Amino acid sequence: MPSFEEEKLADYKRIVDGLPVPENLVDDAILKGFEKGRREKNKSKQRMRSLFSIAAVAVILISFFTSIRLSPAFAGYVSELPGLAKLVDLIQGDKGIIAALESEYDQEIGVSSTKDGVTFTITRAIADETGLLLFYTIDTQTERKELIIQDARLKNTDGKKFLLGSASFGMPHYSLEGERSFTGSMDFTFQEPLEAKSFNLIVKIEGKEHEVDFKLNKEISSKKEYTLNKTVSIEGQKITFEKVEIYPLRVAIHVKMDPNNSKRILSFDEIRLVDEHGETWNKISNGITASGGVADDKRILYVQSNYFREPRELYLIPGKIQAVDKSDAYLIVDTEKKTILKQPHPGKFSSAKVSNGNNLSIKLETEREFNYHPFGVIRDADGKEVMTDGSTKYGLEGYSEFGISIPNLKKYKNPLSLELNFYPAWINSEEKIRIK
């Protein structure tokens, strides 16, 4: 029977990207991890950095799980590291963030707000031209089984350039037994290169607003840019990879789809970077993965950053790409007759139902789990945009059921046209496009 530590390592494996690495490199990394831990053990000033660094080595090594035998001694060593689970969850298997922490590119913040027995603290920050990643803790006087950041608003306070693009507060915090301390991160992205250094952050927790001011004292590292202008044909669809911009937090890949393509490109599921040793930087698993809509010919895709690595060779691999015929890029549903009138071929949507007058649910049959909500903009028969106020996903083996809440559903003229943002149909290319 697997031990608790083995089960936890298997859990971590499922959230960490796999890396095919020669066994001698694994052994070397293990030894370096041990040595680094011993060197920093007695340096209380660097205790947090030490934990992050050791955890980073552990996360990278766990990702070898499928192809490399995991040493029982190393598994035991990992299980004894205090707080490893929270550290692994916090950085979400993102190798770029791990490398930034290892390279001491992050900075300590340490500002707090306390209201009604709840203390919100920004502990650390990592910033580049594209975004700002904040690590935080929430401490409470009494145990909580659930704690949610309801809202977060960021603004600059020094008058310098600041144009917010998106904000992610992270997942709600849950504890079956109840806890008094929760750790998380929030990610802000910018539409223009960040110049601001002083900020004001307001977060809402349990209905109370916590306001903190903080500054970035470290200089922001400049991007590394590579021009490609390489067009590839993937199962008849032409895609041009224009350039690659490498930042400390993420890598931005600029792509352009040929307007004469017969298919609409929906999602680049497995786009990645790989070096001459086979080490891989995959698509970001928790955070912004792309900018630009599915109907746009140009898009920016984001993968994990290799900014703090300098491989001799670096390649881009497109991988699996969701794509449907442009004529099939919509699901047409009659909500009165509860029937599907049109869908991509071969049809994988199997039913449409309406409950409680306003809730539309649609079943999608899939061979394996499909972790996407397929629908974008919805329009009625007159071209009027349908307003929604929430969506749900319910998955069982072999299918997923998606729910859409549409207030005043009956006021919209049938049939409804649901734009497809995601769909389980793929084209694929493992061609290596050289970056450097």
Any alpha helices (H) in 82-125, and if so which ranges? 84-91, 95-102
Strand, helix or coil for residue 95: helix
Report d(CA 277, CA 203) in Å as an integer.
43
Q: Give residue 88's pLDDT.
A: 54
How many CA atoms lie less than 13 Å away from 432 in the CB half-sphere?
A: 12
Q: Give residue 101's pLDDT.
A: 83
Task: Please count the other Cβ atoms lying within 10 Å of the Cβ belonging to residue 190.
Answer: 20
Work out the burial of residue 198: count CB atoms within 10 Å of its CB; fewer than 13 is exposed, 13-18 middle, 19 or more buried: middle
User: Which helix (H) or strand (E) is 416 found in, with range?
Assistant: strand 416-420
Work out the burial of residue 411: count CB atoms within 10 Å of its CB; fewer than 13 is exposed, 13-18 middle, 19 or more buried: exposed
Strand partners, 152: 203
Do you know the residue count of the chain?
436
Q: Which amino acid is at 98?
A: I
Report d(CA 96, CA 416) in Å as an integer.
42
Name the token pair of 6.
């083995």
Work out the burial of residue 148: count CB atoms within 10 Å of its CB; fewer than 13 is exposed, 13-18 middle, 19 or more buried: middle
Q: Read out DSSP for 367-403?
A: SS---S--EEEEE-TTSPBPP---EEEEEETTEEEEE
Report d(CA 315, CA 309) in Å as an integer.
14
Contacts of 307 (CB under 8 A, 6+ apart): 96, 99, 100, 221, 224, 246, 247, 248, 251
Torsion of CA 393, 395, 400, 406, to 10 degrees: -20
CB 331 within 8 A of CB 420: yes
Q: Give residue 50's pLDDT.
A: 35
Strands, DSSP E only, in 191-305? 198-205, 208-215, 224-234, 237-246, 251-257, 263-268, 272-275, 280-281, 290-291, 298-303
Contacts of 80 (CB under 8 A, 6+ apart): none
Please confirm whether the linkage preceding 248 is cis (ω < 30° from 0). no
Low-confidence ranges of the chain (pLDDT < 50): 1-85, 87
Work out the burial of residue 240: count CB atoms within 10 Å of its CB; fewer than 13 is exposed, 13-18 middle, 19 or more buried: middle
Q: Which amino acid is at 267?
A: S
Name the token pair of 78.
């990992």
